[in-house]
């Protein structure tokens, strides 16, 4: 069987630096940070008191009051981003195609931890009979994909993937596979997250994973910088409309990029730390490039996982050098988490969108807050200022807790 070619025809974003693809992209090119003091709950007693929250979002602009109350925020983000992506793709699933050939694959790393907190509080105060009947639909991870399928009328399969911080990249890569082998004609794919809550923040603080730069939050996320001290929690959603080339051409769609390579591996090493030699990350990147039928010399840009933790940034840099050799020093590598924070399960979705925009506009977004070079992180991280560059082929890396490594390669459509 000959694998079908897969293209991307639409994109949607909800993010801490701006919602809507164009607004989001412009903010990144300007080096704007979406990080600031947490506004949704009291953080007085937390060692970290800031995050990258979505600031320009009002649920009642997108949903009726009942749905705005009853849908978890990670589900709302997925629906809103999907609506933008389908509008961007000029596609109505209900009227523009066979809805049985349309599928949804949207994952989340954590789901609605906020709903757990609220309903447990009700239980403690008033007993089990006061737990909301909406609790389970709010909290379970598949509800993003399920409710998106209801919203858009996609009656093919609706499923999800949960691989911590690799979720969004695995979702897109898995969607590419399903399309290649004819399981659908169109798949809406990506990741969504809203986990900046009392337990979400508290849990990551307990892991000592977060930056504690409370005196200057906008400079807290500083991937690959020697003075990095942890990641910054973010929230949002990135969704892509993916189609077989045949289907996109038949309906006259504008093609934004071609999705050509996917690699995923497991470190099988540690519950939170990456393998110190970067072996799993190397194999994921290598497999994605081979899957694309390309070589290391074809890669024009790498959107790094780049979380701003000591271990992750060192290991990812090492992995890139191991795979690319001297070529590693010729490739721009940026971490846009310096601006968006770490969107956890949603990171891979918006970061692949960034790769596509870099291909479209010939501009590589910067790694901001890069001031003090680290001898162990010595690649070209596009420090602080966006750079014009011809990007024909871009790679997006995601490395998740549990040892999940995922890489997707996209290229200019020809």
Whose CA is closest to 169, among 411, 404, 413?
A: 404
How many C-alpha atoms does 277 have within 13 Å on its Cβ side? 5
pTM for this prediction = 0.97
Find tokens 């412009």 and name the residue: 26
Among residues 67, 43, 147, the alpha carbon closest in space to that of 104 is found at 147
Q: Phi/psi at 336 (nearest 5 deg)?
A: -80, -5
CA distance 336 to 308: 11
pLDDT at position 1 over 80? no
Is the pLDDT at 296 greater than 80? The verdict is yes
pLDDT at position 263 is 98
Residues 341, 338: Cα–Cα separation, whole Å: 6
DSSP helix/strand/coil, 187: strand
pLDDT > 80? residue 310: yes
| Residue from 148, 172, 18 nearest 74 by CA | 148
Cβ neighbours for 136, distance < 8 A, ≥ 6 positions apart: none
The 10s digit of each residue's pLDDT in 195-253 is 999 999 999 999 999 999 999 999 999 999 999 999 999 999 999 999 999 999 999 99
* Beta-sheet pairing, 257-266 with 6-14: antiparallel
Residue 269's SS3 state is coil
Q: How far apart are CA 352 and CA 174, in angstroms?
A: 14
DSSP three-state, residue 104: strand
Helix (H, G, I), strand (E, B) or coil at 51: strand
Rounded to whole angstroms, the Cα distance separating 262 from 410 reads 9
Dist. CA 117–CA 123, nearest whole Å? 10
Q: Which residues contact 42 (CB under 8 A, 6 or more apart)?
A: none
Average pLDDT score over residue span 379-397: 98
Q: Among this protein's residues, is 342 annotated catalytic?
A: yes
pLDDT bracket for residue 136 (50, 70, 90): very high
Spatial distance between the Cα atoms of 206 and 227, rounded to a whole number of angstroms? 21
Residue 237 a catalytic site member:
no
Let me know: does 371 contact 227? Beta carbons within 8 Å.
yes
Tokens of 301: 């840009």
Catalytic site residue from 305, 355, 377, 404: 305
Mean pLDDT across 310-327: 98
For residue 53, give the 3-state DSSP assignment: coil
| pLDDT band (50, 70, 90) for residue 73 | very high
- Region for 90 from its dihedrals, namely left if φ exceeds 0, alpha if ψ lies in -120 to 50, beta otherwise: left
Where is 126: in which H helix or E strand? helix 113-126
Task: In whole angstroms, give the CA distance from residue 99 to residue 78.
Answer: 19
Among 205, 342, 377, 404, the one annotated catalytic = 342
Residues 164-199 pLDDT 10s: 999 999 999 999 999 999 999 999 999 999 999 999
CA distance 55 to 196: 13
Give CA 248 to chain center in angstroms: 24
- Give the domains, in start order, of the chain with CATH numbers: 1-414 (3.40.47.10)
State the catalytic residue, choosing from 114, 160, 165, 404.
165
Query: What region, left, alpha or beta, does residue 306 occupy, with left being phi > 0 and alpha being psi -120 to 50 degrees?
Result: left
Per-residue pLDDT of 138-155, as tens digits, reads 999 999 999 999 999 999
Q: What is the pLDDT of residue 295?
A: 98
Give the residue among 182, 188, 205 at the shortest CA–CA distance from 148. 188
């Amino acid at each position: 069987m000959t694998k079908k070619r897969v293209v991307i025809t639409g994109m949607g974003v909800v993010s801490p630096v701006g919602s809507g693809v164009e607004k989001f992209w412009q903010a990144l090119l300007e080096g704007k940070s979406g990080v600031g003091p947490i506004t949704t709950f009291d953080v007085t007693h937390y060692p970290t008191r800031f995050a990258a929250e979505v600031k320009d979002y009002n649920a009642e602009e997108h949903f009726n009051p009942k749905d705005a109350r009853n849908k978890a925020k990670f589900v709302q983000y997925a629906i809103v981003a999907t609506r933008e992506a389908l509008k961007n793709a000029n596609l109505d699933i209900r009227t523009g195609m066979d809805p049985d050939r349309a599928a949804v694959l949207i994952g989340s790393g954590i789901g609605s931890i906020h709903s757990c907190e609220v309903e447990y509080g009700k239980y403690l105060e008033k007993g089990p009979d006061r737990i909301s009947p909406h609790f389970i639909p709010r909290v379970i991870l598949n509800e993003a994909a399920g409710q998106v399928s209801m919203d858009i009328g996609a009656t093919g399969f609706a499923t999800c993937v949960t691989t911590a911080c690799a979720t969004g990249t695995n979702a897109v890569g898995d969607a590419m596979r399903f399309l290649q082998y004819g399981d659908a004609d169109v798949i809406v794919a990506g990741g969504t997250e809203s986990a900046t809550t009392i337990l979400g923040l508290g849990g990551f603080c307990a892991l000592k994973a977060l930056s504690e730069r409370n005196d200057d939050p906008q400079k807290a996320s500083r991937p690959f910088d020697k003075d990095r001290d942890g990641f910054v929690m973010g929230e949002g959603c990135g969704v892509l409309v993916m189609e077989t080339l045949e289907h996109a051409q038949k309906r006259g769609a504008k093609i934004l990029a071609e999705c050509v390579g996917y690699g995923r591996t497991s470190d099988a090493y540690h519950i939170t730390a990456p393998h110190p030699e970067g072996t799993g990350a190397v194999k994921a990147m290598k497999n994605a490039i081979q899957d694309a039928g390309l070589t290391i010399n074809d890669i024009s840009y790498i959107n790094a996982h780049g979380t701003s933790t000591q271990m992750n940034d060192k290991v990812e840099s090492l992995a890139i050098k191991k795979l690319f050799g001297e070529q590693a020093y010729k490739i721009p590598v940026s971490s846009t988490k310096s601006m968006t924070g770490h969107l956890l399960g949603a990171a891979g979705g918006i970061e692949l969108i960034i790769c596509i925009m870099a291909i479209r506009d010939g501009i590589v977004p910067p790694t901001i807050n890069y001031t003090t070079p680290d001898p162990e992180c010595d690649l070209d991280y596009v420090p602080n200022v966006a750079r014009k560059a011809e990007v024909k082929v871009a790679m997006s890396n995601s490395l998740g807790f549990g040892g999940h490594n995922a890489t997707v390669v996209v290229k200019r459509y020809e």
